[in-house]
Amino acid sequence: MTATAERHPELRAALRDLSKRFPDEYFRKVDEARGYPEEFVDALTEAGWLAVMIPEEYGGAGLGLAEASVVMEEVNRCGGNAGACHGQMYNMGTLLRHGSLEQKRRYLPGIASGKLRLQSMGVTEPTTGTDTTQLKTTALRKGDRYVVNGQKVWISRVQHSDLMILLARTTPLADVKRKSEGMSIFIVDLHQAIGKGLTVRPIRNMVNHETNELFFENLEIPTENLIGEEGKGFKYILDGLNAERTLIAAECIGDARWFVARSAAYARERRVFDRPIGQNQGVQFPIAGNHIETEAADLMRWRACELFDAKQPCGAEANMAKYLAAKASFEAANVAIQTHGGFGFACEYDVERKFRETRLYQVAPISTNLILSYVAEHVLGLPRSF
Ligand SMILES: Cc1cc2nc3c(=O)[nH]c(=O)nc-3n(C[C@H](O)[C@H](O)[C@H](O)COP(=O)(O)OP(=O)(O)OC[C@H]3O[C@@H](n4cnc5c(N)ncnc54)[C@H](O)[C@@H]3O)c2cc1C
């Protein structure tokens, strides 16, 4: 084990202990049934792992992004998929940073105990995609309510959440100075909303990941559910992205380590032409390359965590960590398929499942091109391209 992998060993040991109750067969069955890993998420919640970043005064552990990232990494490294529950860890940050004292007292203790799930964030729309400031969903104030109309796409975990953070335009684009102004965020009580202005249509997709189209037709949200100031919602969403990106980088590092370990184990054992396949450099070099790239991505993940936890700007590091980790995990996934030969395609080896799961992170929550564009513009000072 490397020095970087040994950071937070007690945390890792506790998570591995919990994960022993959820072996590969558990996640395989959930995947085959296109189900939700309810028992696993409950176990993580009961042990307090999803509340590590919530301050102690609200019932959480009051730890940093570094510790939170270890939780996410270990879930994926032990064969699971943190995508089922990672929203619970980072969505609450929006409430914590920008919510009123009353909103924090109302929601955070329930989120910390797991009684309330805030696993969903509704940003992406079908007609505007990555160009978020052009979004078409509107929330218009009428007395003590906002009335929401519009559509979202790819909104995850709605069927396994009590609450959702929603981004909508409250001032028309034509009436704002900058396109990033005039959007607001709301906390939506999903139990009150579904069937009363909100329709949820699941999207069957490549991964067993619960994600949906949302249709809003005169959905009423009480004004007290506005988070922070009206018109500043886009900035609030951006504030939360560094934590999200770093946590997802950690998940990818967990995946990459899982693939490297599985590839190395298989390459040591599988004998063809009277020798272990791993004796051939054509088989061992790609696995060694995956290990090197994973370790490099991990260093950038720790850099992002250190800056974030020291309340320093970390946009570049969080984006670069996500880029490197998502690339390392997908390359390790591809090599794992190749190393396993035909068995890489057999569901009972779990390689194909993890391959599908880790592929997502080059597209969501932000695509690789958009990270490159961020670095080109904000780090290298190249001209803005859009
Ligand atoms: C399984 C899944 C779960 C998701 N969960 C959520 C969720 O919970 N909440 C939520 O709000 N969203 C969610 N998303 C949406 C996700 O964030 C978007 O899919 C992603 O940001 C890309 O947006 P898009 O799909 O609209 O692609 P588009 O914006 O249409 O882009 C398509 C491709 O073109 C590239 N591209 C576009 N413009 C440029 C440019 N100017 N320069 C270079 N390349 C460009 C992109 O990089 C991308 O590769 C999820 C998506 C998936 C697949």
pLDDT tens track for 47-61: 999 999 999 999 999
Do 150 and 241 share a domain, yes or no?
no
Considering only CA atoms, which residue is closest to atom 49 of ligand 1? 367
- CA–centroid distance, residue 365 to ligand 1 (Å): 7
Assigned domain for 45 exists: yes
β-strand pairing of 163-169 with 120-122: parallel
Q: What is the CATH number of the domain that holds 81?
A: 1.10.540.10
How large is the average pLDDT for residues 28-40? 98
Based on the fold, state whether residues 81 and 139 are members of the same structural domain. no
Residue with tokens 């009123």: 100
Within a domain: residue 146? yes
Tell me the average pLDDT across 343-348: 98
CATH code for the domain of 147: 2.40.110.10
Residue 293 has pLDDT above 60, yes or no: yes
Whole-angstrom distance, CA of residue 100 vs CA of residue 227: 7
- Pairing of β 198-202 and β 271-272: unpaired
Q: Is residue 385 in some structural domain?
A: no
Whether the per-residue pLDDT at 253 is higher than 80: the answer is: yes
How confident is the model over 165-178, as pLDDT tens digits?
999 999 999 999 99
pLDDT at residue 104 is higher than 70: yes
pLDDT above 80 for 333? yes
List the residue whose alpha carbon is closest to atom 7 of ligand 1.
155
**pLDDT for the residue 384:** 94
Alpha-carbon span 220 to 354, nearest angstrom:
40
Q: How confident is the model at residue 5 (pLDDT cuts 50, 70, 90)?
A: low
Helix, strand, or coil (residue 195): coil
Please compute the mean of the pLDDT values over residues 229-257 and round it to a whole number: 97
Calpha distance 283→335 (Å, rounded): 9
Tell me, in angstroms, the distance from the centre of ligand 1 to residue 359's CA: 13
For 275, the domain range is 235-379
In whole angstroms, give the CA distance from residue 277 to residue 268.
7
212: alpha, beta or left? (left if phi > 0; alpha if psi -120 to 50): beta
One domain, residues 293 and 358: yes
Q: Residue 25 C-alpha to ligand 1 middle, in angstroms? A: 31
**Residue 183 Cα to chain centre, angstroms:** 23
* Distance from residue 152's CA to the centre of ligand 1 (Å): 12
pLDDT score recorded for residue 334: 98
Cβ burial 12-22 (10 Å sphere, 16+ → b, else e): beebeebbeeb
Residue 3 pLDDT exceeds 60: no
Do residue 124 and residue 105 come from a single domain? no
User: Which residue puts its alpha carbon closest to atom 13 of ligand 1?
Assistant: 154
Q: Which helix H or strand E contains 144, and what residues bound it? A: none
Model confidence at 158, in pLDDT bands (50, 70, 90)?
very high
If you average pLDDT over residues 10-37, what whole number do you get?
97
Residue 6 is predicted with a pLDDT of 76
Whether residue 65 is predicted with pLDDT greater than 50 in this model: the reply is yes
What percent of the chain has pLDDT above 70? 99
Q: Is residue 209 part of a domain?
A: yes
Residue 266 has a pLDDT of: 98
Q: Give the whole-angstrom CA distance, residue 253 versus residue 297.
A: 7
Give yes or no: residues 31 and 43 share one domain: yes
Are 51 and 112 contacting, i.e. CB atoms less than 8 angstroms apart?
A: yes
* Spatial CB neighbours of 146, under 8 Å, sequence gap ≥ 6: 139, 140, 168, 170, 186, 220, 221, 222, 223, 225, 226
In a domain, 150, yes or no: yes
**Percent of the chain having pLDDT more than 90?**
98
Radius of gyration for the chain, computed over Cα atoms and rounded to the nearest angstrom: 21
Q: What integer is the mean pLDDT of 290-317?
A: 97
- Phi, psi dihedrals of residue 255, rounded to the nearest 5°: -60, -50
322 and 243 together in one domain: yes
φ, ψ of residue 3 to 5 degrees: the values are: -60, -40
- Cα 217 versus chain centre, distance: 28
Rounded to an integer, the average pLDDT of 276-287 is 98
Q: Is the pLDDT of residue 150 over 90?
A: yes
Given a cut of 90, is residue 1 above it in pLDDT?
A: no
- Residue 164 CB–ligand 1 contact under 6 Å: no
Q: Read off the pLDDT of each residue in 339-346 and give the average, rounded to a whole number.
A: 98
Please report which confidence band the pLDDT of residue 101 belongs to, taking 50, 70 and 90 as the band edges. Answer: very high
The reply to whether 386 falls in a domain is no
Q: Nearest CA to 50 among 97, 3, 18? A: 18
Give the Å distances, CA to CA, from 188 to 96, 147, 185, 219.
16, 12, 9, 10
> Considering its fold, how many domains does the chain have in total?
3
In the predicted model, what is the mean pLDDT of the chain?
Answer: 97
Residue 219: inside a domain = yes
Binning pLDDT at 50, 70 and 90, where does residue 217 land?
A: very high
Beta bridge partners of 148: 139, 219
Distance (Å) from CA 151 to ligand 1 centroid: 15
pTM of the model: 0.97
